[in-house]
Amino acid sequence: MDFLKRLRRYPVALAAGLCILAVVLTALFAPVLAPYDPDEMDTATRFAPLGTPGHWLGTDEFGRDILSRIIYGSRVSLLVAFTAVAVALAAGGVLGVLAGFSGGVADVLLMRLMDLLFAIPALMVALGVVGLLGPSAFSVVVALGVAYTPLFARIARSAVVGVRSAAYIEAARAMGASPARLIRCEVLPNILPILLVQVTASLAWGILDEASLGFLGLGVQPPTSSWGAMLTTGRQYMYQAPSIALFAGAAVLVVVFAFNLFGDGLRDLLDPRSSR
Amino acid sequence: MPLLEVDDLEAAFLFADRTVRAVNGVSFAVEAGEIVGLIGESGSGKSVTVQSILRLLPSPGRIVRGAIRLNGVNLLDLSREQMRQVRGRRIAMVVQDALAALNPVIPIGEQIADVFLAHTQVKRQTAWEKAVGMLRRVGISAAEERARHYAHEFSGGMQQRTVIAAALACTPELIIADEPTTALDVTVQQQILALLQQARSELGSAILYISHDLAVVTHLCDRILIMYAGEIVEQGPTRTLFRSPKHPYTQGLLASIPSLHGDVQEYLPAIPGLPPNAAALPTGCRFAARCTFVQERCRAHHPELVSVGSHHAVRCILYEATTP
Amino acid sequence: MLRYTLYRLLLFVPLLWGLSVVVFVYIHLIPGDPVQAMVGASASQEFVAQLREEFGLNRPLLVQYVDWISGLPAGDLGITFRSRQPIAPLLLARIPATLQLALAGLLIALLVGLPSGILAGLFKNSPFDHLFSILSLAGYSMPLFWLGTLLMVWLGVSWKVLPSQGYVPFTQDPLKNLQYLVLPAVSLGLGLGPYIGRMARAAVIEALQEQYVNYAHAKGLRMRTVVNRYVLRNAMISLLVVFGLNIGFLLSGQIVIEELFNWPGAGRLIVRAVLERDYFMIQASVLIYASIFLAINLLVELLHAYLDPRVQLK
C-alpha cells in the first residue's frame, strides 16, 4: 500500500505506530501476557518492592501484582478511549454533515450549539455527565463522547460546506446523485486525512482524560484495574509502594506519547504543506 | 564598469530527494540609470535570479556558482551585516503583491520609517516625517493622515505606491521591480510605470524590471533579457528585439501580444506546451520540446549564447552555425 | 473600538442565555431520575416523591427553567442538595484560591513555553527545535496528576523543601500562602507550558512564512527589527487568538491539580459535588465555569480587535 510505503519515511511515526500496535495486542492478549490474575489478592506479599522475583514491578496494598494490573489496565484505557472517540466521531459526523448539507437556520443553530459546547472544557463536560450517570466505564464513554463531539462536528461541517460549493458536486447533483452517495464518494475521501489525524489526537486525549477521571475517583470503579484508579491508590501508598503510581503514570505517558507522535507524523505525511 | 554584473550565476534548490536547478549560468549587466527588462514565464528562474542578487533565496536554495558584482564588489563575499546595508539602501525591491508585503498590523508610515531607521542615523520622529514625505512624493494625498492607516485600508494602487515609497526611501542605485503591476488594473498600471520612470529620471536609479509579459515593458525598458528554463535565451535592445526577434521562443512571445491596431479581444495563442521540469532538464536545447523549428540535433546539442548583432545575442542552433 | 466593544458586549448577553439553556437541557436530558440517583436506589418511593416536591422537580421543565434562570441575574444559583446551603456563596468563597492558582500556573506556563516555543520556531529544524519538539510532545502527553505527584514526592516529601499539600489564605499569611502555592503552580505551569510552547512555535513559523517578513529583509531592516516588529508582533496576535480558543481546555487541568494538592479551589468543590451526585451544584458550577470561559474568550476577542486593526472591520 502506498500509505505504508510513505510511512517508512517517518521512522518516528512508524515506531510510535508499532508501539500503539504493541499496546493494543497487550490489551487483547492480557490474560496470556499477565503473569497473575490482576484481582488475585495475596495478603502475604503486600507492598512487595520493585524487583521481587515473580512480582517484578512489586505488589499493591492487597498484594495484587502491579505488572498484571497495568497490563489489564490497558484494556480499560483503550476500550474507553476508542469507544468514546467512536461515539464522538459518529455523533459529530452526523451533526456536522446535517448542518453542512441543510445550511440556513439549522446550520447556524447547530454550529452555535457546538461552539457553546466547545467553550465548556471537555473535562468539565465529562464531570457533569459522570455526576449524573454515576461513575462507571459507560459514563466515562458517554462523557468523553459528548465532550469530543463538537470537534468532529466542526471538521465534518466545514468539509461538507467546502465540497458542497465545488463545481463537480453541482454536476453530480444535477445527474441525480443522492446526498448519501455524495457523502460517501465526495465528502468522505476529502476529509479522511483530517479525520484520521483528529481521531489519533482524540485517542490521546481520551486516554489522558480517562486517567484523569479515574484519578478523581470518577472513572471505572474498583476492583477493575485502570491506570487512573491505580494512580489514586498509588498516591495514598506513595511511600510503601512508589511503583504503583510510578508505573501506572508511566504507562499513560508512554501510550499517550505514542499516539501524539503517531498523530504528528500522520499529519506531516498526509499534508505535505505542513512539513515541519 | 557596469552598476550590476551578474556573472555565470547558478542557483539551485537542494531538496533531500532531488535538486531543482532553477538558474543555470545566467550572465548579464545593468548599467547605471538603465532600465532592463527580465522576461520569462513563471518557473523560468527570473524570480530566483532576483532573490540571488539580494541573497534572499528561501531555504533550501543555494547559489552554487558565479558572482554578483555591484560596482565591482562581489555581493557574495559580503558579510551578513554588509549585505543588509546593501538591501534597501543600494538595491531596493518592489514586489508584485504589495498587500502581502506590508505588515497588516503596523501603520503604513512606520513601515517606511523603518527603512530610514535601518540605514540612516535618524531619530524615530525624523524617520516618520521623512516617511510622510515619501508618501507625498509617490502621489498619496493627505499623507500625514494616510501614514497612520493600515495596509488593508489602502487601495491596490496605493499599496503599490507605498511599497515604491519604501523602495525609493534611501535613493537606491538599483531598483528591482518584480512584476509590480500584475495585480493592478490597466490605468493604475500606467501610473505605477510612470512612477518608476520618474524614479530613474529624478534619482538616476537603474531598474531591473521582471515580468512575464513582454507587452508591459516595451515602453519602459532600454534593454530586454529573455529567460527560459533557467537560462537567458535572447538579449538585446528593446527595439532590436521587437523588430527582429531571433529565438523561436521570443518570436512566440511577441506573436502572443495582441496587435495595437487589431481587436483587443482577439488573443493570439500562447506557445503550446510547458517548460521542462527543472529537476530533470533535457540535455539538448531546453526549448526543443515546444519549438516549431526543432531539428534532430536540437535534442542532443545544448546551444551557446551567440552574438547576432550589436548587443544582440541568442541561444539557438539556427544562429550558431553562422558564427563559428 | 468603543462601538466594537459595546457590540461584542451586547452579543454576549444572548450567548449567556444560550449557555443557560444548553446547560439546563443537557442536565435534564441525561436519562434517569436525578433524585433517585442522589439518594440511592434503596430509598423509598415516598421519600423520593417528597424530595421531588421539595426541590420543585415535579413541575414542568419549562417552569423549572424559568424559576432557575430568574434567580441567576441576582446571583441566586439555587441550594445544594445535601446541606441545603445557597450555592453562590460557596462557589464565591473558592474563587480567590482558584484564581490565584490559575494565574500563577499560567504565568509559569508562559515563562516556560513562550521563550522556548519562539526560539524553536525562529530556528526551525535546528537541533534546539528537534529537542523542543520531542520534549514538548512528551510534556504534552504527561498526565498532569502524575507530574504533580512526582514533584510532590520529590520536592515536598523527600527534600522537605516545600509543603506538599494544603493552603493558607494570602491575607492570613502571605509567605506561607506562597510556599503552598509553589508546587501546585509549578505542576500546572509545567503541564501547560508545552501547549503554549507548541502554539507559540506554530505561530512563529506561520508568521515567518509571510511575505512581509521576506520584504522586511529586502528593505534591509536589522534582524532585531524584523524579528520584533514583523515576526513576533504578528505571531503573538495569532497566539493570543489560539490561546483564547483553548483557555477552557488549558485550565481544566487545574481541577486535577487542586484535587492532588488539596487546594481549596472551585475545582475541588465540583469534584465533591460530582462524587456526592449533587445535581444542583453540578448544574450551577458547569454554568459558572462555562460563563467564565466565555467571558475570557470575549476579553481575548476584544484584545485581539485592539491589537489587530483588521478585526473591527467585520
How distant is the Cα of B173 from the closest Cα of chain C, in angstroms?
A: 14
Q: Tell me which of C248 and A79 has the higher pLDDT.
A: A79
Question: Predicted confidence band at B94 (pLDDT cuts at 50, 70, 90)?
Answer: very high
Which chain A residues contact residue C36 at CB under 8 A?
none
Q: pLDDT digits over B221-279, tens only?
A: 999 999 999 999 999 999 898 888 888 888 888 887 765 544 544 444 567 777 888 78
Strand partners for B65:
B10
Identity at B49, one-letter amino acid code: T
At B264 the pLDDT is 46
Between residues 289 and 308 of chain C, which touch chain B (CB distance below 8 Å)? Answer: 307-308
Nearest residue in chain C measured CA to CA from B150:
C309
Contact (CB<8Å) C146/A131: no
Which of the listed CATH numbers 2.60.450.10, 2.40.50.100, 3.40.50.720, 1.10.3720.10 matches domain A72-250? 1.10.3720.10
Identity at B121, one-letter amino acid code: Q
Residue B39 in contact with residue B226, Cβ under 8 Å? yes
Selected for mutation to probe chain C from A109, A111, A116, A117 (highest C CB count within 10 Å) is A116
Say which of A125, A212, A250 has its CB closest to residue C256: A212
At B158 the pLDDT is 92
Which chain A residues contact residue C294 at CB under 8 A?
119
Which chain C residues contact residue B75 at CB under 8 A?
none
Does B69 score more than 90 pLDDT?
yes
Q: In terms of DSSP bridges, do strands B35-39 and B223-228 run parallel, antiparallel, or are they unpaired?
A: parallel
Nearest to residue C192, comparing CAs of C292, C105, C103?
C105
Say which of C210, C218, C225 has its CB closest to residue B56: C218
Contact (CB<8Å) C313/B103: no
Which chain B residues contact residue C233 at CB under 8 A?
103, 105-106
Contact (CB<8Å) C216/B115: no
How distant is the Cα of C132 from the closest Cα of chain B, in angstroms?
A: 21
At B258 the pLDDT is 65
Cell, residue B135: 508618501
A238 has a chain C CB within 8 A of its CB = yes
Which residues have C-beta within 8 Å of that of residue C163, sequence separation ≥ 6? C156, C179, C180, C183
Contact (CB<8Å) A119/C19: yes
- Give the domain ranges of chain C: 2-71, 96-264
Contact (CB<8Å) C212/B102: yes
Contact (CB<8Å) A261/C277: no
Chain B contacts to C (CB-CB under 8 A): 54, 56, 58, 84-89, 92-93, 95, 97, 100-106, 114-115, 117-119, 150, 152-153, 163, 166
Say which of B101, B114, B166 has its CB closest to residue C225: B114
Contact (CB<8Å) B101/C307: no
Contact (CB<8Å) A276/C252: no
How far apart, in whole angstroms, are the C-alpha atoms of residue C240 and residue C308?
11
C225 has a chain B CB within 8 A of its CB = yes
- Cβ pairs bridging A and C (under 8 Å): 137
Cell, residue C73: 441575574
The torsion angles phi and psi of B110, rounded to 5 degrees, stand at: -65, -30
Of A127-131, A209-213, B40-44, B114-118, the least confident: A127-131
Which chain C residues contact residue B118 at CB under 8 A?
219-222, 225
How distant is the Cα of B111 from the closest Cα of chain C, in angstroms?
A: 9
> What does the DSSP 8-state code read for residue B45?
S
Q: pLDDT digits over C162-186, tens only?
A: 777 778 888 888 888 888 898 899 9
Q: Tell me which of A204 and B184 has the higher pLDDT.
A: A204
Strand partners for B94:
B177
Of B151-155, B191-195, C54-58, the least confident: C54-58
Between residues 171 and 230 of chain A, which touch chain C (CB distance below 8 Å)? Answer: 204, 208, 211-212, 215-218
How far apart, in whole angstroms, are the C-alpha atoms of residue C260 and residue C149?
8
How distant is the Cα of C28 from the closest Cα of chain B, in angstroms?
A: 47
Which chain B residues contact residue C218 at CB under 8 A?
54, 56, 87-88, 92-93, 95
Selected for mutation to probe chain A from C82, C125, C135, C149 (highest A CB count within 10 Å) is C149
Chains contacting chain B through 3 or more C-beta pairs under 8 A: C
Asked whether the ipTM of the predicted complex exceeds the cut of 0.90, the reply is: no
Of A229-233, B219-223, C114-118, C209-213, the least confident: A229-233
Chain mean position to CA A76: 11
Can you tell me the mean pLDDT for C135-141? 89
Cell, residue B211: 515580468
CA terminus-to-terminus distance, chain A: 24
Q: pLDDT digits over C93-109, tens only?
A: 888 899 899 999 999 99
Kind and range of the H or E run holding B25: strand B19-30
Which chain A residues contact residue C290 at CB under 8 A?
116, 119-120, 124
B42 burial (CB, 10 Å; 0-12 / 13-18 / 19+) is exposed
Q: Which of the given ranges, A57-71, A239-253, B265-279, C286-300, has the highest pLDDT on average?
A: C286-300
Identity at A127, one-letter amino acid code: L
How far apart, in whole angstroms, are the C-alpha atoms of residue A40 and residue A32?
15
Ordered domains of chain B (ranges, CATH): 4-90+172-322 (3.40.50.300)
Kind and range of the H or E run holding C282: helix C279-307
Of A83-97, A108-122, B11-25, B197-211, the least confident: A108-122
Q: Tell me which of C229 and C245 has the higher pLDDT.
A: C229
Nearest residue in chain A measured CA to CA from C253:
A123
At B265 the pLDDT is 46
Q: pLDDT digits over A76-130, tens only?
A: 889 999 999 999 999 998 888 888 877 778 888 887 778 777 777 777 778 878 8
How far apart, in whole angstroms, are the C-alpha atoms of residue C44 and residue C32?
16
How distant is the Cα of C146 from the closest Cα of chain A, in angstroms?
A: 6
Torsion B265-B271-B274-B275 (CA) sign: negative
At A276 the pLDDT is 37
Contact (CB<8Å) C309/B95: no
Q: pLDDT digits over B282-323, tens only?
A: 888 888 888 888 888 888 888 888 888 888 999 988 887 654
Q: What is the CATH code for C96-264?
A: 1.10.3720.10
What is the signed CA dihedral for A14, A18, A21, A26, rounded to 10 degrees? -160
Which residues have C-beta within 8 Å of that of residue B51, sequence separation ≥ 6? B11, B57, B58, B61
pTM value? Answer: 0.85
Question: Predicted confidence band at A274 (pLDDT cuts at 50, 70, 90)?
Answer: very low
At A176 the pLDDT is 66
Say which of C210, C222, C230 has its CB closest to residue B84: C222
**CB-CB neighbours of C23 under 10 Å:** 24
Chains contacting chain C through 3 or more C-beta pairs under 8 A: A, B
A231 has a chain C CB within 8 A of its CB = yes
At B64 the pLDDT is 92
How far apart, in whole angstroms, are the C-alpha atoms of residue B35 and residue B27?
16
Does C87 score more than 90 pLDDT?
no
Which chain C residues contact residue B163 at CB under 8 A?
215
Q: Which of the given ranges, A25-39, B22-36, B301-315, C23-37, has the highest pLDDT on average?
A: B22-36
